Amino acid sequence: MTKKRLLTGDRPTGPMHLGHYVGSIKNRVRLQDEYECYFIIADLHMLTTKNTPEDIFDIRTNAYEVAIANMACGLDPNRCTIYLQSAIHAVYEMNLFFGNLTSVPRLSRLPSIKDMARAAHLNEMPYGLLGYPVLQAADILMPRAHIVPVGKDNQAHVEITREIARRFNFQYGDVFPIPDYLVEGDTLVGTDGDAKMSKSIGNTIYLFDDAKTVGKKIKGMYTDPKRVHANIPGTVEGNPVFSYHDHFNPNTAEVDDLKRRYREGAVGDVEVKEKLTIAINNFLDPIRERRVEIEADSGYVEQVIYEGTMRTNQIAEETLMMMKKAMGLTGVWNKISRKGRKRLDKQQKAAAAADGAQL
């Protein structure tokens, strides 16, 4: 039996952090055997809010960082496909066709789009940013994906993708499966206690931070602000230090003991943080080592992206042809080009004959 296709991915905006691991990478590693997986490095989506020449130059390192982070965490490039969105020409065309199958009011209502415009300090909505979900629909429908793991902020985009796929199938004939979304992992709080770890807020621990940097960041972490002394009972729930212990410390007996003593006012923040630093560095060590191994083979990551992009291009061209056939566009061009070509041939033959006669 052929496997169902899965597509998901990230914008290449910077190095990957623990929030990415908890929110998505962990799930991907788990799903890679069950599905035929496509991982997009969505640089065209990044352009909707970041598009200066400097931003574009940075895609080189950021795309590499996205790929190596996923690989170091366990994505196996022999079993899945990692590709660069901007190198898939068919997606640009699909984006245009799909733009006709949804409406401006439908897109304008999406909170995610308004949030992105606000975060990028844009006074007016760019046409491209409004079309962000349409472009995402093109990504998802390009390999005719069945399942799309996404975070909460992207669920509405998969909803739109489903509407567009239904609309296309109804209007032109069945080409696309209607993709389902899969709710991704947990949202990791930031080191500052903010709801979400995010590079733009600056509350991150990166997957490739060295052990000392991790220690420093954890030392500065937000905990229970009421606890000015170690003997004041503290709150564990919603406390980022304990949230990280839950995610990254496999020694549950140690974590339970720390929580109990924290609630009783019988442990200092320092001990809780020191143990967390050890746990997170233990978690990150094999990921760091894997990166060193991967990079010992110079050009390997680039080859993975190159081969993945070539593979994806084939499927994209195949789907685009299916779409154009279903729409009747290939028929239009075939008819015009056949007749036009025929007349041009005739003219060229006549000209050649006239040349011959003159000699």
Binding site for ligand TRP (CB under 6 A): 7-11, 40, 42, 45, 136, 139-140, 148, 150, 154
CB of 5 to ligand TRP, least distance (A): 12
Taking the least distance from each CB to ligand TRP, the nearer of 11 and 291 is 11
The backbone torsions φ and ψ at residue 176, rounded to the nearest 5 degrees and listed phi first, read -115, 140
Q: Where does 154-199 show beta strands of DSSP type E?
A: 180-183
Q: Are 149 and 31 in contact (CB under 8 A)?
A: yes
CB of 131 to ligand TRP, least distance (A): 12
Taking the least distance from each CB to ligand TRP, the nearer of 176 and 283 is 176
CB of 34 to ligand TRP, least distance (A): 17
Q: How far is CA 79 from the centre of its chain?
A: 18
Q: Are 94 and 141 in contact (CB under 8 A)?
A: yes
Q: Are 42 and 10 in contact (CB under 8 A)?
A: yes
Taking the least distance from each CB to ligand TRP, the nearer of 72 and 158 is 158
The strand pair at 147-150 and 36-41 is best described as unpaired
Taking the least distance from each CB to ligand TRP, the nearer of 154 and 319 is 154
The neighbouring-strand residues paired with 148 are: 181
Q: Tokens representing 280? A: 């997170």
Residues 4 and 351: their CA atoms lie apart, in Å, by 56
Taking the least distance from each CB to ligand TRP, the nearer of 10 and 209 is 10
Look up tokens 């937000």; give the residue: 222
Taking the least distance from each CB to ligand TRP, the nearer of 11 and 247 is 11
CB of 162 to ligand TRP, least distance (A): 13
Taking the least distance from each CB to ligand TRP, the nearer of 35 and 242 is 35
Sequence-ordered list of residues with C-beta below 8 angstroms from that of 308, at least 6 positions apart, any chain: 39, 77, 81, 82, 83
Taking the least distance from each CB to ligand TRP, the nearer of 272 and 323 is 323
Taking the least distance from each CB to ligand TRP, the nearer of 12 and 190 is 12
The neighbouring-strand residues paired with 222 are: none
CB of 15 to ligand TRP, least distance (A): 15
CA nearest 315: which of 81, 1, 43?
A: 81
CB of 316 to ligand TRP, least distance (A): 13
Q: Are 316 and 143 in contact (CB under 8 A)?
A: yes
Residues 170 and 164: their CA atoms lie apart, in Å, by 10
29-35 contacts: CB < 8 A, separation 24 or more?
A: 29/73, 29/74, 29/75, 31/6, 31/149, 32/75, 32/76, 32/79, 32/80, 33/79, 34/3, 35/3, 35/4, 35/5, 35/6, 35/146, 35/147
CB of 112 to ligand TRP, least distance (A): 8
CB of 289 to ligand TRP, least distance (A): 28
Residue of closest CB approach to ligand TRP: 42
CB of 332 to ligand TRP, least distance (A): 30
